[in-house]
Chain A
């Protein structure tokens, strides 16, 4: 169905090609998973399949790409619209109309299908995706998972032979992601659609993949059986890491398979919980914080105390009020009632954070917002760092040295937009840390980070809390939480529904349990490191 023959892609001004001599083949009805480090060229590979590279992006493509028998050399993306459906990362950015029903029909209108066909297919698609009750709803008011399913539905109505998805679940909470993945597997199994999907969080899709495409360093692409390719891939989810370490062959790809192999570990005497370090004194006390947006109650009377030396993970569905709570805690966001007080040492003095002005406030509580790049507006990294030193009243070079700690080797003259996702986050983090706030809040920092990027972030946060700071990370990434958080707070509908040590909270929840916990339960292990530590040598 998809054939790439010795394809190389290079963009003007780049020293080396993004993709080098790629040959791959995906047959009809297969699910191909594309994996690789951030910036390795996954999106370029997907673009080459859909014809966006080079028709839309420019650049030079050598070799040939054939999709459903059509060569992308002669067919622009719009000429492939009847055979290839494309779903992007941010569904809202790709919507052309404003209601569900019209969006589903848009592609068919462009192809010139008859009125009765369109009507029938819209109804069928609403049923296939289980969104019939949303037909008249406005697209902006849907939850992230619903939007992504509408986006998939809107390409499905044209009955494409191939659907290409670029990180379809990256912005979704675990349950929303499961809905979308269930939809994707249903397409492959029931409708025999060929699906190509790129994903950072491989653990979500790996077990469903028929073939794995690994985009490695220097644009070298390998394709093969998932278990084979995963043995050597430079990105690996916990289940694969565990399998590699334990030397299991064939490599288990799903929790179910790994659980069978891990049976001996379960019968080991249940190891005692690793001792939980006693939390320090409270740095920030929030009492009955309430945030409303119009008539919607985003945060309802939340009490939260942030302690020194603790990484707190804030979890919950999209729209549960996580961001609103973080903004209220920082003091810049709206707050209807309640108080946020910053405690000084163990004494009873406290500063009302919300009464301070913006410049003073960021010395007490720092926030890295969801779209971190909003904080950057100068044209070089060096200028941003110098500006950060000035606005925080620090010695010149403070921000730069923080940045070098976080992500070494970013040249001063680089434009912030030319950085990778992880590097840009490092710059913003350095800018916010220049003010040296005792409390640091991060809103969804793991979006777009690969496993190595997340490990770097984890190390940086660990160093902060070791210096007696308190860190809050809101995230959907259960694996990241398992590895980096000491404490987990779960929000639902604006209220805190669970608050406790990571091991207690995530293991108890079917949606939030990390892979290692699922594989080795009832052992109290959450990460591969826990297993390594407890088991010692793999048997």
Chain B
């Protein structure tokens, strides 16, 4: 990496690095209900997004995740008032309690809302909201299409298919709009159920036509081309993939069922995953595909992933030594502690905002068209 005085050239950081960083941060907050730590993590995510997001449309999506988070906190609070277990002391909202009949015994509607219980519910809602904000941060920072481009060879075709599917959605909306407008030309502005067949049929036909055209275009451009593969190798690939899947299934069963012998659990699962990965790697060799200007994985990517991991590790260390510090003392309610190690870990996760290269400047969006042809009218 360049020295502190010469900032690195602007480039997009590898999308996988942003996802790993975000997952690290999300894992860190997953065991925390301490609002100091949660809000720190949220600010860290927001800071990194604001300073390192690109110019693409989904880079603006972080705000949506924040709204979603706020909504979740609200829903959690409402549910607590409706059916939650109210405990603790000061009653802040006296409400009548409704007992449900015997078939729903144990659930009480409403009841006095108490501060301790409400704070507990709110901090739990906040935890979920912050985890969602972490995922939102990854989505804003990493171009999902570029992430799919860096899939291994054997999965790259699935990646292309996903990209195509994503781009179908706006096209579908466009055709619906177009057909609705065309319906008005026939004097039919009926909405609701009656209009469905009249709109759906042309739209489906249109979509099908487009899909066929796209499939045909992709075919003639070499999508799905295969290299010659020796039959032995092909058999090996198939064996690895199938065996891996089978072993993973057995291993998962072993992990979940406590009565099976220990060797059927984790060891078989690990072997299955390893075999599957080997199968994917072998299968990728049959695919000649290369990637144009692949995103490099350099020091900045390691740094990003490391910062995310540091946050997760720091919080885990605190959890081993002083688990209570990660929560809020309820019943009686108290001011939560401020575990310095966890705080430091979360602050380390903010470093990518300063130490990674800046995102590249936006591509020119408006394109100059050729000048109009002069037209004159002779009266």
Contacts and interface: CB of A to CB of B under 8 A. Distances in A.
Interface of A: 50-52, 56, 76-82, 84-86, 88, 90, 93-99, 101-102, 105-115, 118-119, 122, 133-138, 141-143, 146, 154-155, 158, 175, 179, 317, 319, 327, 330, 332-333, 357-362, 366-367, 369, 371, 373-377, 388, 391-392, 417, 431-432, 435, 490, 492-493, 497-500, 504-505, 508-512
Contact of A143 (B189, B217, B369): B369
B167 A98 contact: yes
Given A374-B178, A508-B375, A109 B290 contact: yes
A171 to B, nearest CB: 13
B185 A137 contact: no
A81 B210 contact: no
Residue of B178, B188, B219, B376 ringed by the most chain A CB atoms within 10 A: B219
Contact of A93 (B202, B214, B363, B367): B214
Residue of A112, A146, A366 ringed by the most chain B CB atoms within 10 A: A112
B248 to A, nearest CB: 30
Interface of B: 145, 160, 163-164, 167, 178-179, 181-189, 197-199, 201-202, 205-206, 210, 213-225, 227, 288-294, 363-370, 372-379
Given A369-B181, A492-B372, A500-B377, A110 B221 contact: yes
A499 B214 contact: no
B295 to A, nearest CB: 12
A77 B227 CA distance: 15
A77 B220 contact: yes
Contacts of B199: 377
Contacts of A511: 373, 375
Contacts of B179: 374
A505 to B, nearest CB: 6
B289 A109 contact: yes
B293 A115 contact: yes
Contact of B189 (A357, A373, A374): A357
A371 B290 CA distance: 38
Contact of B289 (A112, A146, A317, A435): A112
Given A115-B294, A377-B202, A497-B372, A137 B363 contact: yes
Contact of B288 (A88, A97, A111, A175): A111
Contacts of B369: 143, 317, 319
B182 A359 contact: no
A396 B145 CA distance: 54
B216 A146 contact: no
30 contacts: A81-B221, A86-B221, A88-B213, A93-B213, A94-B216, A96-B214, A99-B363, A101-B292, A105-B293, A108-B292, A111-B288, A112-B225, A115-B294, A119-B293, A122-B292, A135-B363, A155-B221, A175-B370, A332-B184, A359-B187, A362-B185, A367-B185, A369-B181, A371-B182, A375-B183, A375-B185, A391-B186, A498-B377, A500-B379, A504-B377
A101 to B, nearest CB: 8
Contacts of A119: 292-293
Nearest to A104: B292
Contacts of B164: 96
| A-B complex: 6 closest residue pairs judged by Cβ atoms | A136-B363, A112-B288, A81-B222, A94-B217, A359-B187, A110-B222
B292 A109 contact: yes
Contact of A78 (B213, B223, B367, B379): B223
B202 A376 contact: yes
Contacts of B189: 357-359
B185 A369 contact: yes
Given A52-B220, A111-B225, A432-B185, 18 more contacts: A56-B216, A80-B220, A81-B220, A86-B220, A97-B163, A106-B292, A112-B290, A113-B290, A115-B290, A133-B368, A158-B221, A327-B181, A333-B181, A362-B185, A497-B375, A500-B377, A509-B373, A511-B373
Nearest to A512: B375
Given A94-B213, A391-B187, A138 B365 contact: yes
Given A375-B182, A376-B202, A511-B373, A358 B187 contact: yes
A127 B210 CA distance: 30
Residue of A77, A85, A146, A431 ringed by the most chain B CB atoms within 10 A: A77
Given A81-B225, A112-B289, A86 B373 contact: no
Nearest to B211: A93
Contacts of A86: 217, 220-221
A197 to B, nearest CB: 16
B179 to A, nearest CB: 5
A332 B181 contact: yes
Contacts of A99: 363
Nearest to A145: B370
Nearest to B292: A105
Contacts of B363: 99, 135-138
B115 to A, nearest CB: 49
Nearest to A142: B367
Contacts of A508: 375-378
A480 B219 CA distance: 36
B220 A78 contact: yes
B263 to A, nearest CB: 42
Contacts of A319: 369
B365 A362 contact: no
A306 to B, nearest CB: 17
A377 B198 contact: yes
Contacts of A111: 222, 225, 288
Given A137-B365, A391-B187, A76 B219 contact: yes
B128 to A, nearest CB: 33
Nearest to A393: B187
B222 A505 contact: no
Contacts of A492: 372, 375
A388 B186 CA distance: 8
A162 to B, nearest CB: 11
B202 A374 contact: yes
A133 B365 CA distance: 11
A80 B372 CA distance: 40
A115 B292 contact: yes
Given A52-B219, A374-B178, A392-B187, A510 B377 contact: no
A278 B176 CA distance: 43
A108 B223 CA distance: 10
B221 to A, nearest CB: 5
B378 A504 contact: yes
Contacts of B205: 373, 417
Nearest to B287: A112
A138 B221 CA distance: 20
A79 B290 CA distance: 16
A82 B179 CA distance: 39
Nearest to A369: B182
A490 B184 CA distance: 27
Contacts of A102: 292
Given A78-B220, A137-B365, A109 B291 contact: yes
A498 B376 CA distance: 7
A126 B221 CA distance: 18
Given A319-B369, A377-B198, A391 B188 contact: yes
Given A497-B375, A509-B373, A96 B185 contact: no
A90 B219 contact: no
